[in-house]
Structure formats: C-alpha cells, structure tokens
Amino acid sequence: MQLQGVYTALITPFTNGEIDYAKLRELVELQIAGGVDGIVPVGTTGESPTLTFNEHQKLIDEVIKTTDKRCTIIAGTGANSTAEAIELTKYAKAAGADGSLQVTPYYNKPTQEGLYRHFSTIADASGIPIVLYNVPGRSGVPIAVDTVARLSKNENIVAIKEAAGSAERVSQILDVCDITVVSGDDALTLPMMSVGAKGVISVASNIIPAEMKAMVDAFAAGNTQKALELHLKYYCFFRDEFIETNPLPIKTAMAMAGIINEEFRLPLCEISDGSRAKLAASLKRCGII
C-alpha cells in the first residue's frame, strides 16, 4: 500500500445517541464524490474512545461495504492495549480494510522500547499495512525519530501520520529512513509536502474533500501557486477547526453547513458561544457556508 494524496479522517455521525449508519453512508459517498484517495474511519476524529467495541467493528464494516473498493480504507484500530489493538486490526483486515492507523498508546505513556514492541507486535500479528500515528498532544508521548527508523524496518509498517505540529519532523524522519510520511495537520500539509511528505490525513476534507484534493494534487504536480492559493483561502478554517478539541469544531461546521446533526457523546460536548462565532465567521470567509 502506497500512501499519497488525501485521506479523510472521517467523523462519526450520531442521532439520538446512536451511530447514524444511514448518514455515515451519505458521508462516505460525499468523500467518494470529492475524489479523496482514501478514508480513515474510527480514528480520533471519529470519536473512537466513545464507541463500544461492537460499534467500532460495525462502523468499519459499513465504511468498507459502502466504499466497495472505490478508495483506500485505513481503519483506525489503535488502542493503549496492545492485545486490543491486535484484535481490532485483525478484524479490520478480515473485513477488507487496506491498512490500519495505529495511534501512539495514550495515558499509560510507554517508553520508546515499549512503543517499538507495541507497534512491532501489532504489525507482525495482524499482517496488514500499518500507518503509525504520532500525536503527542493527545497521547502524552511522542514516537521518537530513532524509534520510527527502527519500526520502518518492519515490512508491514509503511507510513507515519505526523501530527506533532512540526514540519521539521518530516526532514528528521526522512534523514534516517525511507518510510512514507503524511501530514496529520491540514495547516501544515503544504509545508510538510515541501520537504517530502506525500499528502495528508485530513480533518478539513470532511467538509471540503474536493478542495483538499485539489490543493494536494496541485502541489504534487508542481503547481505550487495554485496549491498556495487554496491553502491561503482555507487557512482560517484550518486554524479554527482546532479552536476547541477535535472533532468538536469540524462536526459543528458540518452541522452549520447542513450536512449532519450536531451531536457528540460525553465527555465531548458543544463548543462555546465564542468559539462558535469565530468558526462561523471563518466558514463564511472562505465560502464554505
């Protein structure tokens, strides 16, 4: 599996406290119509910590069934328990996923050796392409560059999603190994691609899939001016989609655009009135609503 382009970190729609599978299928079709290269269900943006194990599995099934091989599926199957991550990842493989996104184990804060063993064990046991997910702001611990280099020697570990807020990390990683790097931050997509990243696992593409695809493809094709114009047009949204904890702003934005119900599961809840006003202003400024 070769990652390149735009992969949408798909939100999970709820209605009256339950996953709205009919709406989920609509969202998948919206992504397909927007031309994205892939979909990443049940990641952080999909509110995976609030889903039951059975919901997690069913959501993966529904996304794979709906896409019907029209784009790549990288299922979010990470956990802070190695055994649980293996079980979910094996399930995703059997269901037909093309790959797995493995977040850094959260809360228990493993050492770098622990991270190496965690990811290696999952990769060896599951037999599916693994995308590492470095997001220390949420997990509490980074995947050190040296650890990435060690892990890159495993043939099943094919890429890393970089969401540590540093474009320099891309250079640091590519200086020591040849693993594929993708941005985990919409606002850093172009800076990261300028030093070797191959695309983005995007939050913004939930609502502007075609525009994100156009920006990434333009840069990849050497049309940096067009890519920059799109980046600048949507930058205020890239900024404000993280005005509060993800995925609160993106789901709020999608509700403002009439795409989904504005519904979360506790402990996630509605954004503040001040954040709502700023987000609405950004959406209007860049023409989303």
What is the SS3 string spanning the chain? Answer: CCCCEEEEECCCCEECCEECHHHHHHHHHHHHHHCCCEEECCCCCCCHHHCCHHHHHHHHHHHHHHHCCCCEEEEECCCCCHHHHHHHHHHHHHHCCCEEEEECCCCCCCCHHHHHHHHHHHHHHHCCCEEEEECHHHHCCCCCHHHHHHHCCCCCEEEEEECCCCCHHHHHHHHHCCCEEEECCHHHHHHHHHCCCCEEEECHHHCCHHHHHHHHHHHHCCCHHHHHHHHHHHHHHHHHCCCCCCCHHHHHHHHHCCCCCCCCCCCCCCCCHHHHHHHHHHHHHCCCC
Find the catalytic residue in 7, 106, 116, 133: 133
Find the catalytic residue in 93, 161, 198, 278: 161
How many angstroms separate the CA atoms of 3 and 131, rounded?
9
In the residue annotation, 91 being an active-site residue is answered as: no
- Which two three-digit tokens encode residue 224? 């940096």
Question: Dihedral of the CA atoms 228, 232, 233, 239 (nearest 10)?
Answer: 130
CA 195 to chain centroid, in Å, comes to 20
- Which two three-digit tokens encode residue 234? 């949507």
How many angstroms separate the CA atoms of 14 and 256, rounded?
15
In the residue annotation, 106 being an active-site residue is answered as: no
Catalytic residues: 133, 161
